[in-house]
Amino acid sequence: MRAVLALPFLAFATLALPASGLVGPAQAQAVAAAASDAAVHRLAERLSRLAEDGLDPRWYAVPAADLAAADPARFRAETLRAAQAALTDLLLGRAGPIRGRVDLRRDTAAVPLGAWMAELASASDPATVIDRAADLPPDARALKAELARLRALAAAGGWPRISGNTRGTLEPGTMDAARVPQLRARLASIDPGLVEGPAANNPLYDDRLLAAVRLYQAAEGLEPDGRVGPITWDVLNTPIESRINQLRVALDMRRAQPAQPTERRIEVNIPHFRLHLLEGQRVVQDMAVIVGRRDRQTPMLNVRLTSVTFNPSWGAPERNAREDLLPRFRRDPAAMQAAGYRLFQRIDGEVVQVDATQVDFSNYNRNHFPYFVRQDAGDRNALGRMRFNMPNNDDIFMHDTPDRHLFSRGQRAFSSGCIRLERPMELLSEALSGTAGWDRARADRVLAGRATTGATLARSIPVRLHYTTTIVEGGRVVMRTDIYGLDADYARAMERGTPQRIASAEGGNARGAAAR
């Protein structure tokens, strides 16, 4: 349980916890004299249902109902103590700081924790205070309804895991006695007819099953082509417990949310592979993006877009050169040079260009490759025709790409960490707005000229790269795969919790609330 060290309550008596950690009978009477025994029982019962809010009742040592008969004063004291700790988590968020998650936002100083605690202390029915606090996070009701649905499904056994060859692709129209019946059972929630009567064991991937697969793929943000490949198999086999934890994380991430910014800004949601350019709450642009692979993750960042480079060259990072480009040089060095790739080596302190066709690449591997690689500007350049610069220590930027076909994919974690843009020219038009001497016509001329040119923006734009797998659109919960495992990390942080230290209260607002 997260310990509450001191709780000043406006005009109410301050609750000081004894060394034992228990609230004594006198304190219990002073803190909640307005609450009847029945109301305290209702409070204990409500705390036992904190799982519906994404919390775990075991974190708060909620007393068992039989303690009320054996020791009523202790039951009251322990119930109130549990309620105070749970209320703190419901208002301020359970999880503490997580390394690298600069995208997580809380404004605990804006939460009037002292006033809430005072209300809990004086309420005739304190369970209603817990109810109201639990419904505060944005979209809480929709998220909790989906959490209840998945918990009920889990209690009934969850969904079946598909075994066998889940690395190979199952094509529509094929016969597969091992995988097709399992796929039917997995998608029976979409179409119960898939498992009715003889259909249950039908090994043919028929049109009815194809329709269910396409519906499932579309709902999961996958390419709805009906081909069941490794990505679709992995999503199908996501344990229901993982989805439940994603909803719990979504609820906790929304607690103590700061006011939404009103300025123009860019937000990139990594697991949804989307970029939004926003003016206040209005979406000005919405486009698909490609983000970092699992082994080369896009970091969470709060930065500013400051300039644009037209016709950029690309200095390949060392890891890309060793792991990605070396095998291609080994296969066809002449083709690599034709694609604009240049090889350089440092000799006697000088960097000199090397003819790739004269190098025996079989002598090198990913652990030994003494060359630098640069790709000339051009249509085949890995950065495309423009780079959007946002200074940061991770050398991450947004850019165009020649690989336009990848935007048709559902899951788009293909890059080495940078953000590839579906419609870079549209973002460019917005970014250059107000920059003297620059408009779309000039940008087109510069791009056509092929020379590397830069433009500094008159107004830099805040950019937030964030990781939010679960969103609510039109009242509907939309979940995406926890591609980097960051929701799983957050769920573990919720298990650990964060000790709260309430330093003082003025006007009902707790200040110095939490070291986060």
**Residues acting as catalytic residues:** 399, 418
Alpha helices (runs of H) in 305-418, residue ranges in sequence order = 318-320, 326-331, 333-338
Taking each helix axis from N to C end, the angle separating 127-134 and 37-47, rounded to the nearest 10 degrees, works out to 30
CA 141 and chain centroid, separation: 19
CB 133 within 8 A of CB 116: yes
CB 410 within 8 A of CB 223: yes
* Closest alpha carbon to 414 in 403, 423, 424, 425: 403
Residue 23 has which token pair? 């609230």
CA–CA dist 516, 497 (Å, integer): 11
**What gap in Å lies between CA 102 and CA 146, rounded to an integer?**
27
Whole-angstrom distance, CA of residue 423 vs CA of residue 292: 18
One-letter amino acid at 247 equals L
| 10-39: burial string, b at 16+ Cβ within 10 Å, e else | bebeebebeeeeebeeebbeebbeebeeeb
Distance CA 165, CA 167 (A): 6
Between CA 215 and CA 227 the distance in angstroms is 12
Residue 305, by phi and psi: left (phi above 0), alpha (psi -120 to 50) or beta? beta
- Bridge-based pairing of strands 274-279 and 350-354 is unpaired
Distance of alpha carbon 247 from alpha carbon 148, whole angstroms: 10
Closest CA to 235 of 332, 166, 144: 166
Helix, strand, coil percentages (3-state) for the chain, rounded to 5, are 40, 20, 40
CA separation for the pair 163, 165 (Å, rounded): 7
